[in-house]
């Protein structure tokens, strides 16, 4: 299972090379791979977060992502039925992938959610309940965080860290990775047996627009990632914000 997050300062077509390890070349339609994947994607168009879900051929899915015009993308890709999901609440986009086994306390916790969060529930999947746990942690810290125009990266990292500790009590347990987007800020964190890497680069030249793009790729389990990507150490969260230049790391405390 794999989770990908991408932010670029200038909206445009998402580079296919940033999404697939082996993207189809040229303008020819991709030949079906014969492998069906679950593709959940969240993206931002005109400042509005949107979510799409579905199953399709793996190469076709990557080509569809490569043709998407957006300045922010979260994509959870896995073999169905995956323990993954991409969700939206107001200006928040959230993606999670990993071994989210049923936890009675998590289901019980939803009964105590603030009314506006309970109304946002569309199902009872473990991934969706996990997202609402994160939102509940934000509400517990300060109800204003749910409607704030901006969030500090420290706040986002803190709520992700708390939810991940609850989901994976043992650091060597089954891996879970999660990404929380708010405005132009994206925070990606992991716990357990998983990998998180990233790559940043700029495209274009003055006087034309320059696209600043950062790609984060997280995998659950021991799947290897390309050597060209920079590894995020265990116990650290990756914070991406185009306004602040290069990505930064914050400790998961």
The domain that holds 7 is classified in CATH as 3.60.20.10
The parent domain of residue 45 ranges over 2-251
Q: Domain count of the chain?
A: 1
46: pLDDT confidence band, cut at 50, 70 and 90? confident
Three-state secondary structure readout of the chain = CEEEEEEEEEEEECCHHHCCCCCCCCCCCCCCCCCEEEEEEEEEECCEEEEEEEEEEHHHHHHHHHCCEEEEEEEEEECCCCCEEEEEECCEEEEEEECCCCCHHHHHHHHCCCHHHHCCCCCCCHHHHHHHHHHHHHHHHCHHHHCCCCCCHHHHHHHHHHHHHHHCCCCCCECEEEEEEECCEEEEEEECEEEEEEEEEEECCCCCCCEEEEEEEEEECCCCCCCCCEECCCCEEEEECHHHCCCEEEECC
What confidence tens digit (pLDDT) does each residue in 111-120 have?
A: 778 888 888 8
Q: Summarize the confidence of residues 71-97 as an average pLDDT.
A: 82
Predicted confidence (pLDDT) per residue in 164-193, tens digit? 998 888 888 888 889 999 988 889 999 998
Looking at residue 211, its pLDDT comes to: 62
Residue 76 has pLDDT above 90, yes or no: no
């Amino acid at each position: 299972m794999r989770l990908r997050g991408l932010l670029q300062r200038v909206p445009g077509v998402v580079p296919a090379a940033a999404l697939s390890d082996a993207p189809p070349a040229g303008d020819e339609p991709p030949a079906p791979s014969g492998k069906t994947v679950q593709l959940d994607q969240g993206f931002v168009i005109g400042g509005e977060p949107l979510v799409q879900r579905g199953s399709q051929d793996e190469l076709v899915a990557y080509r569809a992502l490569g043709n998407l015009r957006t300045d922010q993308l979260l994509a959870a890709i896995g073999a169905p039925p995956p323990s993954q999901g991409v969700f939206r609440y107001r200006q928040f986009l959230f993606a999670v992938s990993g071994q989210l086994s049923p936890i009675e306390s998590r289901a019980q916790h939803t009964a105590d959610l603030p009314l506006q969060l309970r109304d946002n529930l569309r199902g009872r999947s473990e991934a969706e309940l996990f997202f609402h746990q994160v939102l509940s942690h934000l509400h517990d810290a300060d109800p204003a965080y749910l409607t704030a125009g901006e969030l500090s990266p420290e706040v986002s990292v803190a709520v992700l860290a708390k939810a991940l500790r609850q989901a994976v009590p043992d650091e060597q347990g089954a891996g879970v990775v999660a990404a929380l987007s708010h405005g132009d800020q994206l925070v990606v964190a992991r716990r357990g047996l998983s990998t998180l890497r990233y790559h940043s680069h700029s495209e274009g030249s003055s006087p034309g627009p320059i696209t600043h793009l950062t790609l984060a790729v997280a995998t659950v389990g021991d799947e290897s990632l390309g050597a060209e990507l920079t590894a995020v150490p265990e116990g650290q969260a990756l914070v991406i914000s185009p306004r602040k230049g290069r990505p930064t790391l914050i400790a998961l405390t």
